[in-house]
Copies of this chain bind each other. A is one copy, B any other.
Amino acid sequence: MREALSLARRAAQAGEVPVGAIVVKNDIATARAYNTRQQSKDPTAHAEILVIQRASMVTGDWRLIDTTLYVTLEPCPMCAGAILASRIPRVVYGAADSKAGAVDSLFGLLNDRRLNHQVEVRSGVLAEESSRLLKSFFGKRRQQISERCESG
């Protein structure tokens, strides 16, 4: 999770909402990614989607069996859905997302018995660091917008 946090910091440096993710298989990082939505102008370019696409490319299989996905923020509906679609068996996430979290906060997509896949979830790992990074990012962005409004 420390590595995922360091990826999230790189996202922040690039002006992106700071979220980082890693897929680990047999204790080895198979793929790494951070959110690049602004830069790539792609609404699907969340850290989890990118890391799942990369891990599938590396393993040559759309089923990411025997893997763990580490992500600094609770996945949104799209990313929770991608975790289901890729059959990832374990997810560890950092901060909860009260506005769009689809694992525990708003929906429980990863543990719905009506679906054909359920996921073992651990939450709150390095949550404070992850949350602090997000708050600092949005704080700075609000300040920039307000400065732009004042000067414009």
Please list the residues of chain A having a beta carbon within 8 angstroms of any beta carbon in chain B: 37-38, 40-46, 49, 52-53, 56-57, 60-64, 76-82, 84-87, 99-100, 102, 106-107, 109, 112, 114-116
Contact = CB atoms under 8 A, between A and B. Distances in A.
Given A99-B116, A107-B107, A56 B84 contact: no
Given A42-B56, A63-B43, A115-B100, A77 B81 contact: yes
Given A78-B78, A106-B114, A106-B115, A64 B43 contact: yes
Given A62-B37, A99-B116, A116-B99, A109 B77 contact: yes
Given A41-B56, A77-B81, A100-B115, 18 more contacts: A38-B62, A40-B62, A42-B53, A42-B62, A43-B62, A44-B44, A44-B52, A45-B62, A76-B85, A77-B77, A77-B78, A77-B115, A78-B78, A78-B79, A78-B80, A81-B81, A99-B115, A99-B116
